[in-house]
Amino acid sequence: MYIRPFDPWGNPLCTCPRKYGLNPYTGCSHACAYCYITSYIRDPFNPRPKDRLVRQIMRDLESVPRGSIISLSNSSDPYTPPEGRLKLTREVLRILVDRGYRIQITTKSPLVVRDLDIIRRGRAVVQMTVTMLGPAYKRLEPGAPPPEARLRALRAIAKSGVPIGVRLDPVVPHVNSDPKRVEEVIRAAADVGADHVVASTYKAKPDNFRRLRASFPEYGEELRRIYWEEGEFFHGQRYAPRRLRRELMGLVRETAEKYGLRFVTCREGLEGLDDGTARCDGSHLL
């Protein structure tokens, strides 16, 4: 099956409603330093389409109730570069919209604007991940489109009437946690018409930690101390100390409130931070 219940690992901190996940592609060429797919996907940064995608999706939908939420995507960007030529995500969207499913799109690519003619016909929300502005983003997300291009795409999506959110996700201590960097992203999110900001702290696994440390050697020892000495192991990942996570998420919340945006965390388990009016996956807008 290509359409499967969301969160197959059963993370107890996940607050998403019951929904399904669909990845039209295996792998993602954004090659983000913090990406977790390297721990379970072979050749993770080489995106390739899934075999007989449309045929299998049509079969899978026979057991997915109409009106269900289907998330695109969770392990690879639905607009990874081959999509510009193959248009598989576009065809998937057409199928889902025509059958009345609710759709969540999470991406780092401006290519999503191409499909607004389909997206506008359905019940959909688009979330764009923006972790920092400026050329320094390349050290964190070497294969991803520039964040400024992502924001221009979000503005166009919002103007078309489709609700949008921004994911400041993850916040990596020292790398993009400076208050000025955080405010740059949130100010930009408000400027393009975002409904909410989602934030979470970086969760370390040995493979993505090696890449992150190689990309930011100046913070390597400090990150090792935070995650491997002072942090805690939970559900297959290393979390930063709770005190630090609350401090960083509190900063994002205060800044979001300053710019009139709703705020919600993702898989943090920090009581009292979410404003209670939004969900991290944007489902409150569906």
- At 226-284, the pLDDT tens digits run 999 999 999 999 999 999 999 999 999 999 999 999 999 999 999 999 989 999 999 99
Instruction: Tell whether the model's pLDDT for residue 185 goes beyond 90.
Output: yes
| Per-residue pLDDT at 74 | 87
Which residue range forms the structural domain that includes residue 126?
A: 3-285
| Per-residue pLDDT at 10 | 81
Domain count, the chain: 1
> What is the Cα–Cα distance from 156 to 171, expressed in whole angstroms?
26
Q: Could you tell me the CATH number of the domain that includes residue 260?
A: 3.80.30.30
| Per-residue pLDDT at 245 | 98
Average pLDDT on 185-190 reads 98
Helix residue ranges per DSSP H, the chain: 53-60, 83-86, 88-98, 116-119, 137-140, 147-159, 179-192, 206-215, 220-224, 242-258
pLDDT band for 65, please (50, 70, 90 cuts).
very high
| Per-residue pLDDT at 190 | 98
| Per-residue pLDDT at 11 | 86
Torsion of CA 233, 234, 237, 239, to 10 degrees: -70
Q: Percentage of the chain surpassing pLDDT 90?
A: 97
Instruction: Tell whether the model's pLDDT for residue 191 goes beyond 80.
Output: yes
For residue 42, count other CB atoms closer than 10 A to its CB: 8
pLDDT in tens, 89-144: 999 999 999 999 999 999 999 999 999 999 999 999 999 999 999 999 999 999 99
Average pLDDT on 186-210 reads 98
Full-model pTM: 0.96
User: How much of the chain is in helix, strand and coil states, percent to nearest 5?
Assistant: 40, 20, 40
